[in-house]
Structure 1
Amino acid sequence: MKSLRMFPSIKRQLGRMVLILMSACLAPSLLAQGAPDEFIRSISQSVLDDLKADRSLQTGDIERLNLLVERKVMPYVDFQRMTALAVGRNWRAASPEQQRLLMQEFRRLLLLTYSGAVRQVNDLTFQVRPVRAKPDEEEIVVRTQVLRPGREPIQIDYRMQKSSNSWKIFDLNIMGLWLVEHYRNQFAQIVGASGIDGLIQSLREKNQTLAVGAK
């Protein structure tokens, strides 16, 4: 069975990306209904301050991070669409139960893979570029820069969609690498070799390995 891969440099960069995603999503619902760039700009700094003040999160406490994501991040992410895009055309071939398991294991993969990034939160600040969105636009990309002392900034784009008059994130791009595309290529190879159940099992095994390493 093919296994999931993550190059170390990409893992570190994506870790920071997902950390900023967390910051961008911890917002009151009224902010999510406003302009997408304001949605991200208005709350990111205050949430980063909260993360900096929480030592248990900075040590990579999986349970507390999981609770944080579940309560305050997931409502602002279209995770079903994100998972479906990552799985690609094979998503429609999956049964409802397989889709549920794929979402469950993919979500846990992201959580476990990037939990270590919170340890570096103290060095991060960011800038959000203004967006000129038309009133009837339903999808948009918000561009930001993550600033690190003495190092080149990291370019991060948020792909967002408007749903029920509020914005949700369904993909991210860091330095030219879209998160969904990165996993889609790997997932397609695994499904081609082992089917949907093989992908679920591969995700589960990867998560078990990461969970042991996180202890």
Structure 2
Amino acid sequence: MKTLFQKIIVLLTYFLLIVPVSAKEMPPDQLVRNTVDEVITILKQDGTKKGQKDRILDLIETKILPHFNFTRMTQLAMGKNWSKVEPQQRKELVSEFQTLLVRTYSNALTNYRDEVIEVTPLTTQPNAKTTMVKTRVIQSRGREPVPIDYSMEKTDQGWKVFDVTVAGVSLVTNYRSSFNSEIKKAGVDGLIASLVKKNKSLEGQ
């Protein structure tokens, strides 16, 4: 499962790394398709060699983060515990969870190996506030395609991702289990401390 989730950020990066100016007005599936095509072209031209970590982190932080609702992702990952969290703790949790996702998966961008990504067209009602964009990653060597579903919500800034489901497993649900376990052991402050510790360990990798 760890390997599977390590692939998530690769696909998210293909999806969100270079977003056109008109993305705010685009239907979500068209946004995915256009961005996938553009980013894969860039990856093929520039490559993803080792030693590019700072560049990759910069791209993620400047191009990907604006298109995620990390507050909602953290809320969903916290589940019922979210209502027990103080305002300052919420800020710290959102910040550390965002950092965790970025640092955990930034190295995965170097694993691009010419996979093909298929985006399923969808019909979204004009007034829809949420939708799910379904994609499939076609792998080489006869391996089974990996379904990736992007849960997205419409905001004043355009469509934003609030969850990703890989092969039927939700990213936020996956973290909810570990978050709940940590809170039971050490409380919310203990969870924050564990996230800080994890992020520091990933910083040097």
Query: TM-score, normalising length from structure 1?
Result: 0.87
Alignment of 1:191-210 (within 5 A): 191-210=183-202
* Cα deviation code 1:58-83 (max 9, x no counterpart): 42644322211121111111111111
Distance 1:98 1:165 in 2: 26
SS in 1 for 2:3: helix
* Cα deviation code 1:36-56 (max 9, x no counterpart): 10010011121122234445x
Higher RCO structure, 1 or 2 (CA under 8 Å, sep 6+): 1
Structure 1 residue ranges, 4+ long, deviating more than 4 angstroms after superposition: none
1:181 and 2:173 matched: yes
Query: TM-score, normalising length from structure 2?
Result: 0.91
Corresponding pairs, count: 203
| Partner of residue 85 from structure 1, selected from 39, 57, 76 | 76
SS in 2 for 1:92: helix
SS in 1 for 2:84: coil
What amino acid is the match of 1:38?
Answer: Q
| Partner of residue 51 from structure 1, selected from 43, 50, 55 | 43
Over the matched positions of the two proteins, sequence identity in percent amounts to 35
SS in 2 for 1:64: helix
* Cα deviation code 1:100-139 (max 9, x no counterpart): 2112211221122212321221332200001011111111
> Mean alpha-carbon deviation: is it higher for 71-80 or for 19-28?
19-28
Distance 2:172 2:191 in 1: 15
What amino acid is the match of 1:91?
Answer: W
1:69 and 2:56 matched: no
Q: Residue 91 of structure 2 corresponds to which residue in structure 1?
A: 100
Structure 2 runs not aligned, ≥5 long: none
Calculate the aligned-residue CA RMSD, in Å. Answer: 1.8
Go from structure 1 to structure 2 and tell me whether the alpha carbon gap of 1:104 and 1:70 turns closer, same or farther (over 3 Å shift). same
Distance 1:154 1:58 in 2: 24
